[in-house]
């Protein structure tokens, strides 16, 4: 007697982790419609999975004219990219600067003054580029 069971593949991070930390493993296998596992589950180290995915992807970040960042990736699906960049959508140039210029973080730098001067020079150059773009737009 044969019995047909519909199953769905799954691949997810293992739920077995220390509180507050992501698991160091992924689990792949099949589940029935009710969520119960069917057959063998394969546990893979997170480092192995993440390296394989990221090694086959080309990631880049762009800055939008409104100061927000956008993550771009070749080699990842749109759904994966959306999931990976959810937090980045809330990140702006101003919020990034506020975070990196926290006194406790700046104090840990070996040459904080030199690095802040370098940052200031880059930001001044960036502001000059913004000013030029505004002038060009206003001229039409």
Length of the chain measured in residues: 140
The pLDDT of residue 90 is 81
Statement to judge: residues 120 and 140 lie in one domain: yes
- Please indicate, yes or no, whether residues 68 and 48 belong to a single structural domain of this protein: no
Q: Please name the residue ranges forming H helices in the chain.
A: 46-55, 78-84, 93-100, 103-106, 112-139
Closest residue by Cα to residue 37 from 20, 17, 14: 14
pLDDT of res. 17: 62
Domain membership of residue 1 (yes or no) is no
Within a domain: 23:
yes
Q: Which two tokens stand for residue 21?
A: 């930390």
For residues 113 and 130, state if they share a domain: yes
Listed residue (108, 117, 66) closest to 89, CA to CA:
66
Global confidence as pTM: 0.63
| Whether 106 and 135 share a structural domain | yes
**What does each of the 140 residues of the chain score in pLDDT, given as a tens digit?**
788 878 999 998 887 666 666 778 899 999 988 888 888 899 999 899 989 888 888 889 899 999 998 888 888 888 888 888 888 878 899 999 999 999 999 999 999 999 999 999 999 999 999 999 999 999 98
CB 28 within 8 Å of CB 45: no
Measured distance CA(62)–CA(116) in Å, rounded: 22
Say if residue 82 is in the same domain as residue 117: no
> What's the domain range around 37?
7-53
The pLDDT, as a whole number, for residue 136 is 95
**pLDDT value for 89:** 79
Asked whether residue 2 is domain-assigned, the answer is no
Residue 95 belongs to a domain: no
The total of structural domains in the chain comes to: 3
Do residues 108 and 136 share a domain? yes
């Amino acid at each position: 007697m044969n019995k047909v069971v519909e199953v769905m593949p799954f691949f997810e991070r293992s739920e077995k982790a220390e509180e507050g930390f992501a698991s160091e493993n992924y689990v792949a296998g099949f589940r029935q419609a009710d969520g119960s596992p069917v057959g063998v589950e394969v546990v893979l180290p997170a480092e192995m999975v993440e390296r394989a995915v990221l090694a086959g992807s080309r990631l880049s970040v762009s800055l939008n004219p409104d100061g927000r960042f956008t993550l771009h990736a070749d080699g990842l699906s749109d759904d994966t990219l959306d999931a990976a960049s959810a937090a980045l959508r809330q990140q702006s140039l101003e919020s990034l600067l506020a975070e990196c210029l926290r006194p406790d973080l700046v104090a840990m730098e070996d040459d904080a003054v030199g690095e802040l001067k370098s940052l200031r020079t880059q930001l001044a150059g960036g502001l000059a580029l913004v000013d030029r773009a505004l002038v060009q737009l206003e001229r039409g």
